[in-house]
Each structure stands twice: as C-alpha cells, then as structure tokens.
Amino acid sequence: MTLRASGVSVAFDGQSVLEDVTLGVDPGEVLTVVGPSGTGKTTLLRALAMFQRPDDGTVEWTGDDVWALPDEDRLAVRRRLSMVFQEPSLFNARVAENVGYGLRIRRSWRDRIGERLRTLLGNSSVPESVHDSLETVGLTEKAEQNALALSGGEAQRVAFARALAVDPTVVLLDEPTSNLDPRNTAVLENAVDRARDRGVGVVVATHDMHQARRLSDRVAFLYDGTVVESGPPEQVFEDPEDWRTAAFVAGELLYESDSGRPMAAQSP
Amino acid sequence: MFLQVLPDGGWAYVLSVVIVSLYVSVTAVGLSTLVSLPVALVLGFTDFPGKRVVTAVVNTGMGFPSVVVGLVVLMAISNSGPLGSLDLAFTPTAMIASQFVLATPVIMSISLSAVEGVGQPVRDAAYAMGGTKADVGLVVIKEARYGIVTAVLAGFGRAISEVGSILIVGGNIVYSDGQSYTRTLTTAITVEARQGRYEIGLVLGAILLVLVLGINGLGSWLRSKGRGRGAS
C-alpha cells in the first residue's frame, strides 16, 4: 500500500476515537470509508493526512512510518497528498489563485516573490495544471472570479480542483458532497473517476451508501472507531459478514444503547 | 478669495501645524504597527496559560485615558524621571512616545481579532495542501489583511485626533516666527479657540475632520472588501 494506517489508535481526552484501524490505498483506486456520523471517519482521514500523530500504530508511506521520518521528508510525503474537507475552506482570492495555492507553496521563496510581483504588475498567467484541474471540475470560466462569491457546490468543486492541481499521489476527501445538490455531486463524482483514471489514489469518507456503491473499488465499514468489515463493494453491500454492516446497508438505524452496546432498529 | 480667510502668515502656520501632526502620528503609528503586529500574530497563533489575561490587558489598553498616559510619559522623561537624561520633554519625540502608547493597544487588539477571525478550516486547508507553519501563517495574514489595515487606520485615527497627552508632553510650542514645533491640529485648535481666533480654529478643525473622515471611509471600504473574514 502507498498510504496505509497500520493499527492506528487515536484518543481525545482519554476517549478512544479510533481503535486499531488498519487500511490503505494504492494509486489508481478509490477506497471509501463508510459508517454512521461520529464514528471516526474524519479522525482517520486527518491521521492519514498527518494532522496528528496517532497514539498507537503507524501511518506508513510506501512502507515507512511517516512519524519516524525527519521533518523535511515528512513534509515531502505530505506534499504527495492533498485533502478536501466537508466545508470547502477557500481563501479570499481569485479562483485561479486558490487552485494554484499548492503549486505556489512548493516553489522557492524567490520564485514566489517573483510571481507575486508579476501578479501585481498584471503580468501573471494561469499555470497549465490549474487550468486542467478547473477543467476537470468544469469551472474554467470562473478562474478570475473571487472564490468567496461562488455557490457552495462550485466552491467544493474548486476545493477539489485545488487538491488535484498539485498532481497528488493520494487525495483524501472528507464527506465531500454532503452539502451538495445532485448536479454538483455528479460533477464531483465524475471528477473523482477521472482522477482515478489518471492514477490518483482516492480515499473518500462518506455516510452516503449510494455514493460508496458508485465510486468504490474497495469499501471499509467503520463503526465506533473500528473497521468492522472491508472488501470489494459487491461483497460489503450484497453479502456483508458483520451484522452491523448488514444493518447499516439495510438502512436500519445503528446506534449505541445506554449501556454502550450497538443496537439496530428499523427506520420508521 | 478663499486664501484671504486667514490673516497674513496664517496658512504657513496652518501648514506647519499639519506637518507636525502628520509627522508625529504617522511615526507613532508606524512604530506601533511594527510592535503590535508580531504580538498579535503570536497571540493569535499560540495557546499558553495566561493568554486570556494578556488579551484582556491589551483590550483594556484601548480605553487608556490620554491625559493619564501623557502624565506618565512626562514623569518618565522629565529631568527627575528614569529617562530624564535623554532630554525629551516638550519635543516631538515625546509626543510620538505618548501616541505610541495610545495607538498600540488599538492596533494590537483589532489585529488580534482579525487574525483570530481566520477560522481553523482555512488554516487546515493550507496545511492539507502541504503548507509549512510559515505557509499557514502567511495564509492567515493574507486572509486577515483587511482587518489588519483597518487596525492601523483605527490606530492612526486615535493618534491624530488625540489632544490630552500631547498637550502635556509636547507643551504646544511654536517657534518665535510662529511656526509649529510641538503644536498639532488638536492642540492648536484649543489655543485658537481660547484666543478667539475662530477662523484659524475652523480651518484646522476642517482639516482634522477631512483626515478623520478619510480614514474612516477607507476603513469602511476595506471592511466591505474583507467581507467579514478577518475584517473587524
């Protein structure tokens, strides 16, 4: 596996959020992490993106423990990844500047200052990968618009373009379409497909089973901080081995009882 | 016709007062910005025990009575004070010092709220794209830019319209040829009003109003450009 969580456990204030999670992704495949809200999906993606060091276990890049690497090497690994959040979190700047952000910070300070001066003099050009990324999400005509003036769906597509522009090996998507309408969702899912075809590994955290069916090469079902089942989508969705996966796939309400036992109930 | 509003030499006097005012306030605000911005960034980026107390002290400083500041600065720079050997009393430098004390909490406090107004999601986005701590810091400064400029303008507004402390530490002095040494727009107005030279007082007041209105207008425009993010 190129990017892999191996036995990862994370706790906040003594409360376990992830427990011994092992999964990974390779270039050119889409792994979806499905499960109810509050089950640790975001924490898992943030651990993979190196926002925080796991309390136990390792995050590995091509077999190396990333937290055992020197800072410079870990930064180099982080720059092979990019992440998109549930909220687009765009900067107060033109769309093209937003999409080009990752490229800019990978340049030397001298080049960055030179580029800033050229922009101030009105002599800047949009890099090819920025243009290509915007084309992937169908927003080339918005390149010169201020990003904060975009609709929520367009903003999320720009956030995905920003993630793609740096030519990442792996992209992490945290509930990328939970606030989007069907049209924007379709555009974004299509862009994920195209990224996979280009050899990008994609990890999608979602509670949308239908999206997981549409996108996945592999599915991991996360419940209460633990991967209870993983495999090809046809196996996880059509013939789940774990009763909690089966309940979730069947659309039943999966929750913890007051005693902490997982329970499932039919939706009304 | 318009120039005849003032007696002979009146415009030269007004010009010298404007120059002293701008020199003192621009220098004080420039120095204050150099100190306030790094402090605001450190406070906005870090979490440490006592941070709330430090922030509260900075915010309280916005309400410092200017005459008290003037009194303390004068005590410090008077012959018997700890900085007496520098011989700064009743000089433009003393006025810069007192305006620095008054403007710093304003610039620091508004800059801090601008920096803190840049939410964690924006910082996370910069980090997730491979940003270093310096990259994330630059993103925050850039996102807070309108708020930071607003802070500097507010500090300048506080400094240029201040009268109490510069009257105490500057002494409101003019040279024998009638040109200003430590007389500013505000302190000159008090003198002209007391002496019944209302036409000069009104001209000085109009210039001060134009300056303050211009600063406020610029601040409002920047706040609208900031569209709420980082703009206080």
Domain count for chain A, please give it. Answer: 1
- A83: contact with B, CB 8 A cutoff: yes
Residue-level length of chain A: 268
Q: Is residue B81 part of a domain?
A: yes
Amino acid B228: pLDDT: 46
For CA atoms B101, B103, B109, B114, give the dihedral sign: negative
Q: Is residue B124 part of a domain?
A: yes
Amino acid A24: pLDDT: 94
CA distance A215 to chain B (A): 23
Q: Which of B99, B108, B210 is nearest to B156 (CA)?
A: B99
B115 or A260: which leads in pLDDT: B115
- B130: contact with A, CB 8 A cutoff: yes
CA distance B57 to chain A (A): 31
Distance CA(B165)–CA(B69), nearest Å, equals: 6
Amino acid A139: pLDDT: 94
Amino acid B168: pLDDT: 96
Contact A136, A102 (CB under 8 A): no
CA distance A106 to chain B (A): 8
**Which residue range forms the structural domain that includes residue B45?**
2-226
Q: For residue B228, give the DSSP letter.
A: T
| Mean pLDDT over the full length of chain A | 91
Residue A116 clears pLDDT 90, i.e. is over it:
no
- Residue A195's pLDDT band (cuts 50, 70, 90): very high
Amino acid B89: pLDDT: 93
Domain with B97 in it: what CATH number?
1.10.3720.10
Of A83, A92, A93, the CB nearest to B128: A83
What mean pLDDT is predicted for residues A129-134?
A: 93
The model's pLDDT over B1-12, given as tens digits with 9 standing for 90+, comes to 556 667 777 889
Distance CA(A166)–CA(A148), nearest Å, equals: 21
Amino acid A83: pLDDT: 96
What percent of chain A stands above pLDDT 90?
Answer: 73
Could you tell me which chain B residue has the CA closest to the CA of A89? B122
Q: What parts of chain B have a pLDDT lower than 70?
A: 1-5, 226-232
CA distance A259 to chain B (A): 35
What mean pLDDT is predicted for residues A195-207?
A: 95
Residue A68 clears pLDDT 90, i.e. is over it:
yes
Amino acid A119: pLDDT: 80
Q: Is residue B231 part of a domain?
A: no
DSSP letter string, A169-181:
SEEEEESTTTT--
**Which residue range forms the structural domain that includes residue A44?**
3-265
Amino acid B231: pLDDT: 40
What percent of chain A stands above pLDDT 70?
Answer: 94
Instruction: List, in order, residues 6 or more apart from A95 with CB less than 8 Å away.
Output: A134, A139, A142, A143, A144, A145, A146, A147, A150, A158
Distance CA(A40)–CA(A226), nearest Å, equals: 8
Q: Is residue B37 part of a domain?
A: yes
Contact A91, B143 (CB under 8 A): yes
- B142: contact with A, CB 8 A cutoff: yes
Beta-strand (E) ranges in chain A? 3-12, 15-25, 30-34, 56-61, 64-65, 81-84, 170-174, 201-206, 218-223, 226-231, 253-256, 262-265
Of B128, B132, B143, the CB nearest to A91: B143
Of A82, A91, A93, the CB nearest to B128: A82
Question: Which B positions 101-120 lie with beta carbon below 8 A of chain A?
Answer: 119
Contact A230, A43 (CB under 8 A): no
Residue A122 clears pLDDT 50, i.e. is over it:
yes
Domain with A58 in it: what CATH number?
3.40.50.300
Q: How many CB pairs under 8 A join A and B?
A: 58
Distance CA(B204)–CA(B15), nearest Å, equals: 10
Mutate to test the interface with A, among B118, B129, B135, B227 (most CBs of A within 10 A): B129
Instruction: List, in order, residues 6 or more apart from B129 with CB less than 8 Å away.
Output: A82, A83, A101, A102, A105, A162, A163, A166
What mean pLDDT is predicted for residues A138-146?
A: 93
Amino acid B230: pLDDT: 42
Q: Is residue B232 part of a domain?
A: no
Q: Is residue B144 part of a domain?
A: yes
Domain count for chain B, please give it. Answer: 1
The model's pLDDT over A181-192, given as tens digits with 9 standing for 90+, comes to 999 999 999 999
Residue A206 clears pLDDT 50, i.e. is over it:
yes
